[in-house]
Structure 1
Amino acid sequence: MSYETLLYEVSDYVLTITLNRPDRLNAFTGTMMNELIDAFDKADADDDVRAIIVTGAGRAFCAGADLSEGTKTFDFAARADRPDKQGTPQRPDGGIDYSHESVRDGGGRVSLRIYECLKPVIAAINGAAVGVGATMLLPMDIRIASSDARFGFVFNRRGITPEACSSWFLPRAVGISQALEWTYSGRVFPAQEALEGRLVKQVVAPDALMDTARALAREIADNSAPVSVALTRQMMWRMLGADHPMEAHKVDSRSIYARGRMQDVKEGISSFLEKRPPVFTEKVSQDMPDFVPWWEPRPYK
């Protein structure tokens, strides 16, 4: 599969998506936004993908937005290369129509697509992850960093504010105080501080990064039922916003009831009793329970 800004490689049920603009430190562009969304669309539709690793080519994971437009970088109305091509977000009275599609932040579109993903997502952070390079990590499930990695929520230092839905994701990942300190200051910090602040699960030597990420992906792909993993991912993420544990009880009950009658459960129990690896045959593309999606659509309005 060919992309301009990404590499997309599937091997033994594991998809590796590599941000591939090494000469630009994998800086984020409108093309990269569209290609990442498309890559996650393809991954969800492909039953040969049971886990996803996202990493970067070269020295960086992603050094943030491509600043080649200079001072126009974040002035979307002034840019000629806007990826959305949706027209001018203007009300009849001359004010800004903030609900217009063209107002939407590109990093947020990517974060929302990752959030909707049905496959587990592992970040293998090989180098600098700054700006959108840091915020796009937040909806990924497990983050592993090279000791060479650096992180920075640098938005306030550029005169803008955090994006890519990070005001929702970051405090949930690291707590409100840590989230505010990192975003207020905008400073770049090392992998060890990211570990201590709970932004990443593990810090490893650079040459061990991909092997560590692949071992984790293999643990999931080889031993867990894909449909159960897809349900678990959505249950866990969506319950972060629930206002009462009863909401979790509802979806837990429906899921256990629906899955309890399926062939994967018989295989899971049989393989355990027979002390052999499981062979799960049900597919995310066709065997999800009929109560999915239980959440309501959330249009941009």
Structure 2
Amino acid sequence: MAGYTTILYGVASHVATVTLNRPEARNGFTVRMADELAAALRAADADDDVRVVVLRGAGRSFCVGADLSADGGGERSFGAKADQGAEAALAAGTYLEPAGVVTSVMYRMDKPVIAAVHGAAAGVGATMLLPADFRLAAEGTKFAFPFTRRGVVPEGASAWWLPRIVGLTRAMDWLISGRTFLADEALAAGLLTAVHPAGELAAAADRLAGELAREVAPLSVALTRRLVYRLAWADSPEPVHRADSRLVHETVRGPDAAEGVASYFEQRAPHFPTAVPGGLPEYAAVPNGARHPAPQEPGVT
């Protein structure tokens, strides 16, 4: 998707930065923003030059949730009458609501995602963070899953993600009450990787992104992400044994392992030769350990 209007996208030093860019609306989420975010994440995942993605928000807040204004700030409103395409997709069982359009793409990515949030992360501003691999926040950031207080239900598959990240008790507290909580509570519960002073958040995210881009093998990251997200909740460890045994057998004989060992002994930065997705080998396919296959990934329109 060319010509983004609600986000900014750029790539430098193997890091793709995706910025929510409706600061006048505190990055209120719209259907267009959902489509643009999904397109940007797909673009980053398909780019061999990109090794890491950083997700952040412009202005005072990361994202205060769905834009609830009458016209969505000039964008298509969430409360608007569904079009025929959406109704048909709903009937066919292929419809994804806007938050799910973003989180389903992030879940399937082969690149690690660092989310750096500040100000407020409410509603979809919180649910879109859940498939990120690293979630950093500024001190004092406010979080909320306020769906029950708005007469709707949790979206973005947050009912699946949140209990797995913070446990069922805390997830039910946040999802049922819809209350606001601060970054310190989010960190203690395991929702966040780290909390930083507000003035240091951007630099912390950039440092982490730079370290990942320089020091870890893109293929190893892709395979690790697939192993965890597809098999961590399998019914037993047996499918994980089968998958990781094959991956160890293959990767230990590959060029990335040779470079990783050589750079370690030579005390230098590694230069891993295998690009992702361009260099993904056939053995990179990791079966889904769930009882049911993942749904297809349609758009929202």
TM-score, length basis structure 2: 0.90
SS in structure 2 at match of 1:61: coil
**Alignment-derived partner of residue 183 in structure 2:** 191
* Residue type at the aligned position of 1:56: G
Assess if the C-alpha contact under 8 Å between 1:255 and 1:289 holds in 2: no
Alignment of 1:51-66 (within 5 A): 51-66=52-67
Deviation at 1:30, TM superposition (A): 0.9
Assess if the C-alpha contact under 8 Å between 1:6 and 1:19 holds in 2: yes
Structure 1: which 5+ residue stretches go unaligned?
Answer: 91-96
* Residue type at the aligned position of 2:295: P
**Cα distance in 1 for residues equivalent to 2:246 and 2:28:** 42
User: Given the superposition, is the C-alpha separation of residues 7 and 74 from structure 1 closer, same or farther in structure 2, using an over 3 Å criterion?
Assistant: closer
Matched, 1:131 2:131: no
Give RMSD over aligned pairs: 2.2
SS in structure 1 at match of 2:55: strand
Deviation at 1:241, TM superposition (A): 2.5
**Cα distance in 1 for residues equivalent to 2:53 and 2:296:** 27
Q: Which moved more, 1:131-140 or 1:212-221?
A: 212-221
CA offsets, 1:118-170, max 9 Å, x none? 10001100221000110000000110100131100000000111110001100
Deviation at 1:87, TM superposition (A): 4.8
Q: 2:285 aligns with which of 271, 276, 293?
A: 293
**Alignment-derived partner of residue 88 in structure 1:** 87
Deviation at 1:19, TM superposition (A): 0.4
Q: 1:229 aligns with which of 221, 228, 245?
A: 221
TM-score, length basis structure 1: 0.90
Structure 2: which 5+ residue stretches go unaligned?
Answer: none
Alignment of 1:34-45 (within 5 A): 34-45=35-46
Number of residue pairs the alignment of both structures matches: 289
Assess if the C-alpha contact under 8 Å between 2:61 and 2:118 holds in 1: yes
SS in structure 1 at match of 2:68: coil
Matched, 1:156 2:152: no
Assess if the C-alpha contact under 8 Å between 1:99 and 1:300 holds in 2: no
Q: Which moved more, 1:287-296 or 1:169-178?
A: 287-296
User: Given the superposition, is the C-alpha separation of residues 279 and 223 from structure 1 closer, same or farther in structure 2, using an over 3 Å criterion?
Assistant: same
- Bigger relative contact order, structure 1 or 2, given CA contacts below 8 A and separation 6+? 2
Percent of pairs identical after alignment? 43
Deviation at 1:70, TM superposition (A): 7.8
Assess if the C-alpha contact under 8 Å between 1:52 and 1:120 holds in 2: yes
* Residue type at the aligned position of 1:88: E
